[in-house]
Every structure is written in structure tokens, then in C-alpha cells.
Amino acid sequence: MSEQTADDGPSGFPLIGDRFPELDVETTHGTKTLPDDYEDSWFVLFSHPGDFTPVCTTEFVGFEQRRAEFEELNAELIGLSVDRVHSHIKWTDWIDEELDEEIGFPIIADESGEVAAELGMVHPGQGTSTVRAVFLVDPEGVTRLVLYYPKEIGRNIDEVLRSLEALQTSDEEDVALPANWPENRNFGDKGVLSPPGTVEEVEQRLAEIDGEEYDSYDWWFTLKDI
């Protein structure tokens, strides 16, 4: 089913910075190979505890209603739970009929639980079904963000979108991003430069600050318009 690599996390599931494991999965849109089938885009893989459950239903409706925004950021959505394909199809048909929302992204059918176990989505303290995990994976197949929510709490889809946009902005601009970016109360949508690591780099940063190239509080705390 998968190929373990030296970059896999200590428990076998991918951590931030690891290559996402090679997985052949059955979905409502046919067989897919992760991450290779998404090599030209980001993908957002999220698990839910089970089909025909109320919080999961609200999440699927929420993700579908924001799907165009993910696609504008070159990201594809993929769901997962330890249910059969037929259950996924029946559930999404119910969502379409009762809530007038047609789910347009694939859902992995993981009846055996092997995929969920490999990705660390089953937590003993939360029972035998999957918790609400989220993996953001970039076009190089690298895991860039991992989130876990308990079953009792639905995900904040705004935060998943914000994280995706923030990661892409960080890559493009070579900056870190402050809390609540792009709506930080004190610094707005500015980026943060990495602190210098040597005396020479400190001197260079101070020269740049004197030249008013950046908005700086100190050589280790320097902001950049992006």
C-alpha cells in the first residue's frame, strides 16, 4: 500500500517537513495515488469520524462551499473516513438532496483503517474511528502543516484556508508571518524577516534598516511589506 522512507515521522505518519507517504487509495472518484496524482498542486487531506454524523456533515458542506477558494490557491480537497465507498456515495447523495450541496471532491474509503493508521488519524483515547485530522501537502509532496481536532469540535475552515495562503506567501516572499496574518492587530499583513544568524548578517541587516528598506523594531525583529 505504501512505501516508507527515511523521512517518515518516528511513528510512521508524516510530520511537518516529511514527504507524504506513497498511498494507493480507493475514493469516490476512483483509485488515486498520493501524493503523485497531485504533483502539480497542493492538496488538503482531511479525515472525519464517520459518514451520516452531524458535525461531519456540517464540515463537508463547509468545505464544499469553500472549494472554489481552495482551487484558486491551486489546492485540491480530499476527504477520508473508515467507511466504504457505498456509504460515502449514499451520504453525499443525502447532503445533495437535503442540504442542496453537491460534494465535488473525492472521499477516500478506508474500511480497513490501514490508511488512517498510517497517517496517525486514529487516536486510542478517541475510539476506533478517525479524529478530525488535516494535512496540507505541497506540489513537491512535502507535508507542510498537520492539524488534529477532537471529534467534538468541527474545524475552522477559514483557518485551513488562511494557513494554505500563508504557507504559499511564505514560500514566495521568503518571510515568516505573524500571528493572525494577514490581519495582525499591530502589523497588518506585513511579513517577518528571519533573524540574522551571524555577526556579518547582523551588520548587513542594520545597514538595510538604516537605509529604510524595512520597518524594523530591532535587527532581530524586522518587518517587510509583501
Domain boundaries, given as residue ranges, for the chain:
2-155, 174-226
Q: Is 182 strand, coil or helix?
A: coil
- Of 157, 155, 132, 136, nearest in space to 146 by CA: 136
- pLDDT for res 126: 66
- pLDDT above 60 for 27: yes
Q: Cell 469553500 sits at which residue?
A: 66
Per-residue pLDDT averaged across 135-150, rounded? 96
pLDDT category, 176, cuts 50, 70, 90?
A: very high
Q: Which residues lie closer than 8 Å to 110 by C-beta, 6 or more apart?
A: 25, 80, 81, 82, 83, 116, 130
Per-residue pLDDT averaged across 110-118, rounded? 89
Lowest mean pLDDT among 31-35, 54-58, 120-124, 199-203: 120-124
Written as nine digits, the cell of 34 is: 498520493
Q: How many CB atoms lie within 10 A of CB 16?
A: 12
Per-residue pLDDT averaged across 128-134, rounded? 83
C-alpha atoms less than 13 angstroms from C-alpha of 171 in its C-beta half-sphere: 11
Per-residue pLDDT averaged across 171-194, rounded? 96
- pLDDT above 60 for 153: yes
Per-residue pLDDT averaged across 8-35, rounded? 87
Written as nine digits, the cell of 184 is: 495582525
- pLDDT for res 113: 86
**Active site (annotated) includes residue 122:** no
Q: In terms of CATH architecture, what is 2-155?
A: 3-Layer(aba) Sandwich (3.40)
- pLDDT for res 6: 38
Domain 174-226 sits in CATH at: 3.30.1020.10
Q: What percent of the chain has pLDDT above 90?
A: 77
Lowest mean pLDDT among 83-97, 125-139, 190-204: 125-139
pLDDT category, 2, cuts 50, 70, 90?
A: very low
pLDDT category, 122, cuts 50, 70, 90?
A: confident
- pLDDT for res 5: 42
DSSP string, the chain: -EE--TTS-TTSS--TTSBPPEEEEEETTEEEEETGGGTTSEEEEEE-S-TT-HHHHHHHHHHHHTHHHHHHTTEEEEEEESS-HHHHHHHHHHHHHHH-----S-EEE-TT-HHHHHTT---GGG-SS--EEEEEE-TTSBEEEEEEE-TTS---HHHHHHHHHHHHHHHHHT-B--TTTTSBTTTBT-EEPPPP-SHHHHHHHHHHHHTTSSEEEETTEEEE--
Per-residue pLDDT averaged across 95-112, rounded? 96
Beta bridge partners of 148: 133
Per-residue pLDDT averaged across 32-54, rounded? 96
Catalytic residue among 56, 75, 116, 177: 56
> Over the chain, what is the mean pLDDT?
91
- pLDDT for res 117: 87
Written as nine digits, the cell of 46 is: 482531511
Q: Is 117 strand, coil or helix?
A: helix
- pLDDT above 90 for 131: no
